[in-house]
Structure 1
Protein backbone atom coordinates (compact mmCIF):
# COMPACT_ATOMS: atom_id res chain seq x y z
CA UNK A 1 0.00 0.00 0.00
CA UNK A 2 1.08 3.55 -0.69
CA UNK A 3 -0.61 6.71 0.52
CA UNK A 4 -0.27 9.63 -1.88
CA UNK A 5 -0.65 13.30 -1.14
CA UNK A 6 -2.29 15.52 -3.72
CA UNK A 7 -2.73 18.85 -1.97
CA UNK A 8 -1.62 21.95 -3.87
CA UNK A 9 1.88 21.86 -2.38
CA UNK A 10 2.47 18.33 -3.76
CA UNK A 11 1.86 19.42 -7.35
CA UNK A 12 4.20 20.82 -9.95
CA UNK A 13 3.43 23.99 -11.92
CA UNK A 14 1.81 23.14 -15.26
CA UNK A 15 2.41 25.85 -17.83
CA UNK A 16 1.95 23.94 -21.10
CA UNK A 17 -0.40 25.53 -23.64
CA UNK A 18 -0.17 28.87 -21.86
CA UNK A 19 -1.78 27.50 -18.70
CA UNK A 20 -1.79 29.87 -15.72
CA UNK A 21 -2.36 29.11 -12.04
CA UNK A 22 -2.30 25.33 -12.58
CA UNK A 23 -0.49 22.64 -10.60
CA UNK A 24 -0.51 18.95 -11.48
CA UNK A 25 0.27 15.86 -9.42
CA UNK A 26 0.57 12.55 -11.29
CA UNK A 27 -0.93 9.82 -9.14
CA UNK A 28 -0.79 6.83 -11.47
CA UNK A 29 0.57 6.00 -14.91
CA UNK A 30 -0.20 2.68 -16.56
CA UNK A 31 -0.37 1.27 -20.07
CA UNK A 32 -4.03 2.14 -20.57
CA UNK A 33 -4.76 4.83 -17.98
CA UNK A 34 -3.17 7.85 -16.33
CA UNK A 35 -4.57 9.65 -13.28
CA UNK A 36 -3.54 13.21 -12.42
CA UNK A 37 -4.86 15.70 -9.87
CA UNK A 38 -5.12 19.28 -11.13
CA UNK A 39 -5.47 22.37 -9.00
CA UNK A 40 -6.54 25.48 -10.92
CA UNK A 41 -6.42 28.68 -8.88
CA UNK A 42 -9.32 31.12 -9.12
CA UNK A 43 -8.75 33.15 -12.27
CA UNK A 44 -6.40 30.46 -13.62
CA UNK A 45 -6.77 28.50 -16.82
CA UNK A 46 -5.72 25.25 -18.41
CA UNK A 47 -4.77 26.56 -21.85
CA UNK A 48 -6.57 25.44 -24.99
CA UNK A 49 -5.17 22.19 -26.35
CA UNK A 50 -6.32 19.02 -28.09
CA UNK A 51 -6.93 16.03 -25.82
CA UNK A 52 -4.09 13.60 -26.61
CA UNK A 53 -6.36 10.68 -25.60
CA UNK A 54 -9.91 10.42 -24.21
CA UNK A 55 -10.03 12.45 -20.99
CA UNK A 56 -12.40 12.59 -18.04
CA UNK A 57 -12.20 15.67 -15.78
CA UNK A 58 -13.87 14.95 -12.42
CA UNK A 59 -14.32 18.15 -10.40
CA UNK A 60 -14.14 17.47 -6.68
CA UNK A 61 -14.03 21.07 -5.42
CA UNK A 62 -14.59 24.56 -6.78
CA UNK A 63 -16.23 25.75 -9.95
CA UNK A 64 -15.46 27.33 -13.28
CA UNK A 65 -16.20 27.12 -16.98
CA UNK A 66 -15.13 24.77 -19.77
CA UNK A 67 -15.20 25.07 -23.53
CA UNK A 68 -14.78 22.52 -26.30
CA UNK A 69 -13.78 23.71 -29.75
CA UNK A 70 -15.41 27.04 -30.48
CA UNK A 71 -18.57 26.07 -28.58
CA UNK A 72 -20.24 27.89 -25.73
CA UNK A 73 -18.63 28.17 -22.31
CA UNK A 74 -20.36 25.79 -19.89
CA UNK A 75 -20.50 26.18 -16.10
CA UNK A 76 -19.09 23.23 -14.15
CA UNK A 77 -18.54 22.58 -10.47
CA UNK A 78 -17.90 20.07 -7.73
CA UNK A 79 -19.81 16.87 -8.31
CA UNK A 80 -19.66 17.14 -12.11
CA UNK A 81 -17.42 15.59 -14.74
CA UNK A 82 -16.52 16.54 -18.31
CA UNK A 83 -15.50 14.15 -21.09
CA UNK A 84 -13.29 15.19 -23.98
CA UNK A 85 -12.54 12.74 -26.76
CA UNK A 86 -9.07 12.33 -28.24
CA UNK A 87 -8.29 15.27 -30.52
CA UNK A 88 -11.00 17.53 -29.10
CA UNK A 89 -9.75 21.08 -28.42
CA UNK A 90 -10.72 22.32 -24.97
CA UNK A 91 -9.91 24.65 -22.10
CA UNK A 92 -10.87 25.05 -18.44
CA UNK A 93 -11.06 28.27 -16.40
CA UNK A 94 -11.49 28.46 -12.63
CA UNK A 95 -13.92 30.96 -11.12
CA UNK A 96 -13.21 29.58 -7.63
CA UNK A 97 -10.23 27.30 -6.91
CA UNK A 98 -10.78 23.97 -8.67
CA UNK A 99 -9.50 20.58 -7.59
CA UNK A 100 -10.08 17.94 -10.25
CA UNK A 101 -9.03 14.41 -11.04
CA UNK A 102 -8.08 13.87 -14.69
CA UNK A 103 -8.33 10.33 -16.00
CA UNK A 104 -6.75 9.75 -19.41
CA UNK A 105 -7.75 6.57 -21.20
CA UNK A 106 -6.10 4.99 -24.21
CA UNK A 107 -4.93 1.65 -25.49
CA UNK A 108 -1.37 2.80 -24.81
CA UNK A 109 -0.26 6.04 -23.19
Structure 2
Protein backbone atom coordinates (compact mmCIF):
# COMPACT_ATOMS: atom_id res chain seq x y z
CA UNK A 1 0.00 0.00 0.00
CA UNK A 2 1.43 3.41 -0.91
CA UNK A 3 1.47 6.35 1.51
CA UNK A 4 -1.32 7.99 -0.51
CA UNK A 5 -3.52 4.88 -0.35
CA UNK A 6 -2.86 4.54 3.38
CA UNK A 7 -3.79 8.19 4.02
CA UNK A 8 -7.06 7.68 2.13
CA UNK A 9 -7.87 4.48 4.06
CA UNK A 10 -7.44 6.21 7.46
CA UNK A 11 -10.40 8.53 7.79
CA UNK A 12 -12.09 8.10 11.18
CA UNK A 13 -10.82 9.81 14.33
CA UNK A 14 -10.90 9.57 18.10
CA UNK A 15 -10.22 12.96 19.68
CA UNK A 16 -9.96 13.08 23.48
CA UNK A 17 -10.28 16.38 25.37
CA UNK A 18 -9.10 16.82 28.99
CA UNK A 19 -9.18 19.88 31.29
CA UNK A 20 -5.86 20.54 33.07
CA UNK A 21 -4.98 22.37 36.31
CA UNK A 22 -4.28 25.82 34.91
CA UNK A 23 -5.26 28.02 31.99
CA UNK A 24 -2.06 27.35 30.07
CA UNK A 25 -0.38 23.94 29.52
CA UNK A 26 -1.15 22.17 32.80
CA UNK A 27 1.35 21.27 35.49
CA UNK A 28 4.59 19.39 34.67
CA UNK A 29 3.29 16.30 36.52
CA UNK A 30 0.16 16.35 34.34
CA UNK A 31 2.25 16.50 31.18
CA UNK A 32 4.23 13.49 32.48
CA UNK A 33 1.00 11.53 32.96
CA UNK A 34 -0.14 12.45 29.44
CA UNK A 35 3.24 11.45 27.99
CA UNK A 36 2.96 8.00 29.62
CA UNK A 37 -0.62 7.62 28.36
CA UNK A 38 0.53 8.51 24.84
CA UNK A 39 3.13 5.74 24.99
CA UNK A 40 0.46 3.25 26.13
CA UNK A 41 -2.01 4.46 23.49
CA UNK A 42 0.55 4.15 20.70
CA UNK A 43 1.47 0.64 21.81
CA UNK A 44 -2.16 -0.53 22.19
CA UNK A 45 -3.31 0.94 18.87
CA UNK A 46 -0.37 -0.53 16.95
CA UNK A 47 -0.73 -3.94 18.60
CA UNK A 48 -4.44 -4.04 17.70
CA UNK A 49 -3.70 -2.70 14.19
CA UNK A 50 -6.56 -0.25 14.76
CA UNK A 51 -4.88 2.85 13.31
CA UNK A 52 -2.33 5.31 14.66
CA UNK A 53 -1.86 7.68 17.56
CA UNK A 54 -1.11 11.07 16.04
CA UNK A 55 -0.13 13.25 18.99
CA UNK A 56 -1.43 15.99 21.23
CA UNK A 57 -2.21 19.67 21.44
CA UNK A 58 -1.80 21.66 24.67
CA UNK A 59 -3.17 25.12 25.41
CA UNK A 60 -5.91 27.05 27.10
CA UNK A 61 -5.82 24.79 30.14
CA UNK A 62 -6.48 21.58 28.27
CA UNK A 63 -4.86 18.80 26.29
CA UNK A 64 -6.34 17.12 23.23
CA UNK A 65 -5.16 13.68 22.08
CA UNK A 66 -5.60 12.57 18.45
CA UNK A 67 -5.80 9.10 16.91
CA UNK A 68 -6.90 8.02 13.44
CA UNK A 69 -7.97 4.75 11.88
CA UNK A 70 -10.45 3.13 9.50
CA UNK A 71 -13.06 2.47 12.26
CA UNK A 72 -13.62 4.98 15.08
CA UNK A 73 -15.53 2.47 17.21
CA UNK A 74 -12.78 -0.16 17.00
CA UNK A 75 -10.14 2.50 17.66
CA UNK A 76 -12.00 3.81 20.71
CA UNK A 77 -12.47 0.27 22.06
CA UNK A 78 -8.68 -0.10 22.12
CA UNK A 79 -8.10 3.36 23.60
CA UNK A 80 -10.94 3.50 26.14
CA UNK A 81 -9.24 1.78 29.11
CA UNK A 82 -6.25 4.13 28.88
CA UNK A 83 -8.38 7.24 28.30
CA UNK A 84 -10.63 6.40 31.28
CA UNK A 85 -7.53 6.01 33.50
CA UNK A 86 -6.37 9.57 32.88
CA UNK A 87 -7.40 11.49 36.02
CA UNK A 88 -8.20 14.86 34.44
CA UNK A 89 -11.81 16.00 34.41
CA UNK A 90 -13.98 17.21 32.89
CA UNK A 91 -13.14 15.10 29.86
CA UNK A 92 -14.85 13.87 26.73
CA UNK A 93 -14.08 12.03 23.50
CA UNK A 94 -15.28 12.82 20.00
CA UNK A 95 -15.65 9.87 17.63
CA UNK A 96 -15.59 11.21 14.08
CA UNK A 97 -16.85 8.92 11.32
CA UNK A 98 -15.23 10.32 8.19
CA UNK A 99 -12.42 12.69 7.35
CA UNK A 100 -12.20 16.22 8.74
CA UNK A 101 -12.90 17.73 5.33
CA UNK A 102 -15.96 15.52 4.65
CA UNK A 103 -19.13 17.59 5.22
CA UNK A 104 -21.16 14.39 5.63
CA UNK A 105 -18.91 13.01 8.41
CA UNK A 106 -20.82 12.43 11.64
CA UNK A 107 -19.60 12.72 15.22
CA UNK A 108 -20.54 11.20 18.57
CA UNK A 109 -19.52 12.64 21.92
CA UNK A 110 -18.76 10.40 24.90
CA UNK A 111 -18.22 11.94 28.34
CA UNK A 112 -15.48 10.28 30.38
Scaled by the length of structure 2, the TM-score of the pair is 0.35
Give the structure, 1 or 2, with the largest relative contact order (CA under 8 Å, sep 6 or more).
Answer: 2
Which is richer in helix? Answer: 2
When normalised by structure 1's length, the TM-score is 0.35
Higher Rg of the two aligned structures: 2
